[in-house]
């Protein structure tokens, strides 16, 4: 016997059906309406499943970087999109992941005792040169490379407040980093580590260039902070709460599996409805 697919709530991935009269008592136009409605229901569940998968990937990335210095938690923003393409789709809505943003809450400061480690207290990003482009990071784990430049462990030069690499003399010792980012040695002041701040809109549109590095987006580039606050011998820990992320991961995983299960059931019913319609003509 054929089935009618009722109005579906896109936020509850459960499909229910009620039995209808025999095919002979139902007009072909009724069948066409049911098939159209069923396809819309499938689209709703598919959009929900895709959104849950994207959120799961974001949470998994957060969990993987819970111990990564300078890491910023990924957050997803969702919106409900009402279907306006068909008068019969009134009330149906689709869930989409509208944007991915970075949680800008500062991570805890962890003391390392390494004089080349640096943590920013408050707003701002360090600037590093990566393959000819400038990227921005909160990860302040620095080293001196073979040429005496201050760099990341990956070999990318750390830039000063004028956007230039910071060069030390060979065999330099007793590097001191003041709270304002000024670097000095026994020979005196050398340079000031650049700390750059984005506008609120600039922060919203930052583009990831790796786990802890970013490039400016459509919201605009940064400006150098004149009086940053930097702690020598510290790093900023990831701002991810591992327990919170694991709970979220379990919830998203269950929602995703539920959506897929309902989607499969609904697809099977749609196929049966199409076969029934074909046999009744």
pLDDT at 259 over 60: yes
pTM metric for this prediction: 0.72
Cα–Cα nearest to 116, from 180, 174, 76, 156? 174
Percent above pLDDT 70 for the chain: 71
- Looking at per-residue pLDDT, the higher value among 163 and 56 belongs to 163
Mean pLDDT of the chain: 79
Averaged pLDDT for residues 28-52: 62
pLDDT at 122: 94
Q: Give the mean pLDDT of 188-205.
A: 94
Instruction: Report the DSSP beta bridge partners of residue 141.
Output: 117
Question: Element (H or E) spanning 271, and its range?
Answer: helix 242-280
Across 81-85, 106-110, 201-205, 251-255, least confident range = 81-85
Whose tokens are 């902070």? That residue is 225
Tens-place pLDDT, residues 87-120: 444 445 555 545 678 899 999 999 999 999 999 9
Q: Which residue stretches of 174-213 are H helix?
A: 200-204
Residue 25 has pLDDT above 80, yes or no: no
Question: How far is it, in rounded angstroms, from Cα 114 to Cα 259?
Answer: 49
d(CA 140, CA 60): 24
Name the DSSP letter for residue 129: E
The alpha carbon torsion through 198, 199, 205, 209 (nearest 10 deg) reads 0
State the average pLDDT over residues 262-280: 67
For residue range 57-82, list pLDDT tens digits in order. 889 999 999 999 999 999 877 554 44
The pLDDT value recorded for residue 2 is 35
Q: What is the pLDDT of residues 111-165, one digit of tens each?
A: 999 999 999 999 999 999 999 999 999 999 999 998 999 999 999 999 999 999 9
């Amino acid at each position: 016997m054929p089935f009618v697919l009722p109005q579906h709530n896109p936020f509850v991935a459960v499909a229910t059906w009620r039995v209808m009269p025999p095919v002979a008592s139902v007009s072909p136009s009724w069948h066409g309406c049911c098939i159209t409605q069923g396809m819309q229901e499938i689209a709703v569940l598919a959009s929900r499943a895709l959104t849950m998968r994207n959120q799961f990937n974001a949470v998994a990335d957060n969990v993987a970087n819970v111990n990564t210095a300078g890491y910023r938690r990924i957050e997803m923003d969702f919106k409900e999109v009402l279907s306006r393409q068909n008068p019969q789709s009134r009330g149906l809505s689709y869930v989409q992941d509208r944007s991915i943003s970075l949680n800008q809450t500062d991570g805890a400061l962890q003391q390392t005792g390494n004089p080349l480690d640096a943590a920013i207290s408050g707003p701002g990003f360090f600037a590093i040169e990566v393959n000819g482009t400038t990227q921005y990071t909160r990860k302040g784990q620095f080293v001196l490379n073979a040429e005496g430049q201050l760099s990341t462990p990956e070999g990318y030069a750390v830039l000063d407040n004028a956007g230039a690499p910071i060069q030390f003399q060979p065999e330099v010792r007793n590097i001191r980093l003041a709270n304002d980012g000024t670097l000095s040695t026994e020979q005196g002041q050398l340079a000031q580590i650049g700390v750059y701040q984005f506008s609120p809109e600039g922060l919203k549109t930052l583009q990831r260039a790796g786990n802890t590095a970013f490039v400016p987006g459509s919201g605009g580039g940064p400006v150098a902070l004149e009086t940053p606050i930097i702690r020598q011998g510290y790093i900023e820990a990831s701002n991810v709460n591992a327990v919170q992320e694991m709970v979220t991961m379990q919830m998203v995983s269950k929602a995703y599996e539920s959506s897929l299960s309902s989607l499969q059931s609904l697809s099977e019913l749609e196929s049966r409805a199409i076969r029934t319609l074909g046999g009744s003509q």
